Amino acid sequence: MLCPVCHKVMIIVEHHRIELDYCTQCGGVWFDASELDLFINACGLPGPDFSPETLLRKPEVKETPHPRKCPLCRQKLRDVAIGEPAVIVDVCRRRQGIWFDGGEIQQLLTQMAARTASPEDASKKVLEFLGDTFKARK
């Protein structure tokens, strides 16, 4: 699969049986539909619903000058804001998956971990994931 930003071939990263595509060039991450929810649950984060179904119901963010295309269906991705402070993610209009720019997934996960009942445990799991996924592959 090609990165929607730099059009390089992405590598597949597996963590606790959840697969994601990672671009070593820009640090962006693609989750197939519903994999993000699985992953959030695996980390024990009480996140919002990240299914493309739910994300597509949120209002579209208009200010992106260069719309990206879905690496699967080649349709324009829809920009949606999640979290507080907001992170802009790109969602496939055909519900195939979600794209995070480099650093966005880290930002979002850290944010969510901080809001759990035991932020230290949650942060540990998040860091473990981020370490597993991104560290050795730069």
Residues at the interface with Zn ion (CB under 5 A): 3, 5-6, 23, 25-26, 28, 70, 72-73, 92, 94, 96
The alpha carbon of 59 is separated from its chain's Cα centroid by a whole number of angstroms, namely 18
CA angle 118, 36, 86 (to 5 degrees): 70
| Least distance between Zn ion and beta carbon 10 (Å) | 7
d(CA 105, CA 81): 13
d(CA 69, CA 28): 14
CB-count exposure of residue 52 (10 Å: 0-12, 13-18, 19+): buried
| Least distance between Zn ion and beta carbon 129 (Å) | 20
Which residue, 26 or 88, is less far from Zn ion as judged by CB?
A: 26
Which residue, 74 or 135, is less far from Zn ion as judged by CB?
A: 74
Which residue, 99 or 112, is less far from Zn ion as judged by CB?
A: 99
| Least distance between Zn ion and beta carbon 42 (Å) | 24
Which residue, 23 or 126, is less far from Zn ion as judged by CB?
A: 23
d(CA 18, CA 16): 5
| Least distance between Zn ion and beta carbon 28 (Å) | 5
